[in-house]
Amino acid sequence: MTATSATTYLLTADELDGFPNDGKRREIIEGVLFVAAAPSLVHQETLGRLYKQVDALVGPLRLGRVFFAPIDVRFSNHDLVQPDIVFVRRERREICRVNTIHGAPDLIIEVLSPSNRGYDLAEKLRLYERYLVPEYWVFDPERLTVAHFVLTDGRFVQVQPVGGVYRSTVIAEFVVDPNVLFADLDAW
């Protein structure tokens, strides 16, 4: 019996830039391409509510900048993603260059859709932990849940709500009450 080895090709961030701009979200983690379908309407509504809340806190206090997808976050040549929302502190603005954030943002928010549930809770969770993102939030508007992770000693620890609300460790004023956030998502 002869040993054979398969060579796996790792896609680079530069190669990803060459893909067509066809409205699909393409990301690479450890050189592997992930393509996401268009987000659901409830995803977009939740994303809009969260962006407005974070931006209303960050802007007037001049704490930094809040960006929403599509914005590239490049951790390495083989790790480039487009989180739903990212926050970068003013003191770290040098990581924001042209159309890409180079390195770990201070806070990342993802909103789940049926097509990205496992991906955001597995691959992206591990990626953000590996690159030491201080805080990661995952909102699930279909199950009406929040998962809040804070980096502690290089590992993500899931934070539980206090009095029914979640409080950011990165943006002190950012407090989320899931009952308020998810209220009337489909009523219009």
Of the candidate ranges 11-15, 51-55, 131-135, 146-150, the one whose mean pLDDT is the lowest: 11-15
Residue extents of the structural domains in the chain: 13-181
**What is the spatial distance between Cα 31 and Cα 9, in angstroms, rounded to a whole number?**
8
Q: Is the pLDDT of residue 1 over 70?
A: no
Average of pLDDT values for 87-116?
94
Of the candidates 61, 54, 60, 124, which has an alpha carbon nearest to the alpha carbon of residue 87?
A: 54
Q: How many CB atoms lie within 10 A of CB 48?
A: 12
Task: Provide the CATH topology of domain 13-181.
Answer: tt1808, chain A (3.90.1570)
**What is the pTM assigned to this prediction?**
0.90
**HSE-CB for 148 with a 13 A CA cutoff:** 17
- Render pLDDT for 107-141 as a digit per residue (tens, 0 to 9): 999 999 877 778 888 999 999 999 999 999 999 99
Residue 48 predicted with pLDDT over 90: yes
User: In Å, how far from its chain's centre is CA 173?
Assistant: 19
- What pLDDT score does 7 carry? 56
Measuring CA to CA, how many Å separate 123 from each of 28, 32, 67, 75, 151? 10, 11, 21, 14, 16
Cβ atoms 160, 146 nearer than 8 A: no
Residues sharing a CB contact under 8 Å with residue 105, sequence separation 6 or more, in sequence order: 73, 83, 86, 87, 88, 95, 133
- Of 6, 13, 17, 15, the closest CA to residue 30 belongs to 13
The pLDDT, as a whole number, for residue 125 is 95
Mean of all residue pLDDT scores within the chain: 90
